[in-house]
Amino acid sequence: MKLEGVELRRIRLSLVAPFETSFGVQTERDVLLVKAITSVGEGWGECVAGEEPTYSSEYVAGAQHVLIHHLLPRLLGQAQVDAEDVGRLLGAVHGHHMAKAALEMAVLDAQLRTRGESFAKYFGAVRPAVDCGVSVGIHKSISELLETVGDYLEQGYRRIKLKIKPGWDVEPVRAVRERFGDVPLQVDANTAYSLSDAAHLAELDEFSLLLIEQPLPEEQVLAHAELARSVRTPICLDESITSAQMAEDAIKLGACRIINIKPGRVGGYLEARRIHDLCAAQGVPVWMGGMLETGIGRAGNVAMAAMPNFTLPGDTSASDRYYHRDITQPFVLHDGRLNVPSGPGLGVDVDLDFLESITHWKQTVGDAKLSHAAS
Ligand code: NPG
């Protein structure tokens, strides 16, 4: 198919509650959406870059700029662009994985909608619904944390992830274990520690956590391997795993026993699928991360989380954990699971009137006349 044009749009959505991590507090998302307008139909992509470059070097205004000036020009002139070509065509541009991922996703959605195939089918999904976990931010007090965790467990979430940072780690974990017994529990440090904290992190061993996610800075793969020798809890990497190559190297070095997959972080669903496959071949379980996606990103993530080696519950929570009103039909928790969309492409419809009402910037790149006719 040919990519005729792309509509880029930024929308603002408030979170139902502030979400605090070791890298800051978020109260809303400023989401960059990509609509691919192709010779055969349209498709949607969501860019997961945040407003500030605090999780990784990417940020939403940068993603918007690189799409307009460096990525789209490399696709719009091509006679033929399928999703499988996007990575190669954008290969000359270094980094910018989240921007690339959003573009590839939109092209893939257009391609699959046209041939009536779901993301799940394309990925080789093996289950109709996926087990869901929930990520719980840093709270002001342990009592407030226990209340939040209790609410989520009542809603049916099958695993709790606690955000930790120095000064908010062993005590909240102990309190959750004491109150809620042997609920599946894991922690996420978002790079907040250093190797000199190894003995302190080993204090978490007594709580039988599923994993400790990304305790050290993203470049410190070797240090993670060293840390892994002094803690019993499995180390899981998130920020460090930016490609299948990095995943392979980290596993070989003994830096992690589990990998969090975020399609945006690694440059798209196709690279994410390669990581899934190589981890499966090495006996390394993976799980689907989350970046507070709207229904568009969630649809793709839930579809991928239904692949065979996604054996741990993901940060794929229900829409109401994030937003009062989503831009697609909401994802609803049933017995701690979300159903995998089965319709063509992402299998969700975008509420265009609502979208328009929360759009604060929009631009069409490419043949505006054609894109106008197609929308
Ligand atoms: O459920 O989508 C979700 C949030 C899961 O904790 C979560 N995401 O570090 O993994 C993370 C964190 C995150 C959120 C990272 C937003 C970057 C941006």
How buried is 374 (Cβ within 10 angstroms: 0-12 exposed, 13-18 middle, 19+ buried)?
middle
CA of 137 to the centre of ligand 1 (A): 9
Which token pair is 222? 């070797």
Annotated catalytic residue, options 35, 100, 161, 163: 163
Cβ-Cβ contacts under 8 Å for 201 (sequence gap 6 or more): 169, 193, 212, 215, 227, 231, 233
Close Cβ partners of 51 (under 8 Å, ≥ 6 residues apart): 29, 30, 59, 60
- In this prediction, residue 367 has a pLDDT band, given cuts at 50, 70 and 90, of confident
Q: How far is CA 122 from CA 115, 126, 345, in A?
A: 11, 11, 9
The DSSP H or E segment spanning 223 is helix 221-230
Question: What residue type is 304 in one-letter code?
Answer: M
Q: What's the pLDDT band for 375 if we cut at 50, 70, 90? A: very low
**What's the CA gap between 122 and 109, in Å, rounded?**
11
For 31-48, what is the mean pLDDT? 98
Return the CATH number of 120-339, one of 3.40.50.720, 3.40.50.620, 3.40.50.920, 3.20.20.120: 3.20.20.120
Q: Is the CB of 331 under 6 A from ligand 1?
A: no
Q: Express each pLDDT in 259-290 by its tens digit.
A: 999 999 999 999 999 999 999 999 999 999 99
Query: Does the CB atom of residue 345 touch ligand 1 within 6 A?
Result: no
What was the pLDDT predicted at 27?
97
- pLDDT category of residue 190 using cuts at 50, 70 and 90: very high
Q: What is the DSSP string of 166-192?
A: TTBSHHHHHHHHHHHTT--EEEE-TT-
Q: Are strands 212-213 and 235-237 parallel, antiparallel or unpaired?
A: parallel
Does ligand 1 have an atom closer than 6 angstroms to the CB of 133? Answer: no
Residue 369 binned pLDDT confidence (cut-offs 50, 70, 90): very low
Q: Which of 35, 100, 161, 262 is catalytic?
A: 262
Structural domain spans, the chain: 3-116+350-374, 120-339
Query: Does the C-beta of 290 come closer than 6 Å to ligand 1?
Result: yes
> What's the CATH architecture for 3-116+350-374?
2-Layer Sandwich (3.30)
Query: Residue 210's closest CA among 233, 229, 188?
Result: 233
For residue 48, the ligand 1 atom closest to its alpha carbon is 18
Residue 105 pLDDT level (bands cut at 50, 70, 90) = very high
Q: Is the CB of 190 under 6 A from ligand 1?
A: yes
Q: Is 140 a catalytic residue?
A: no
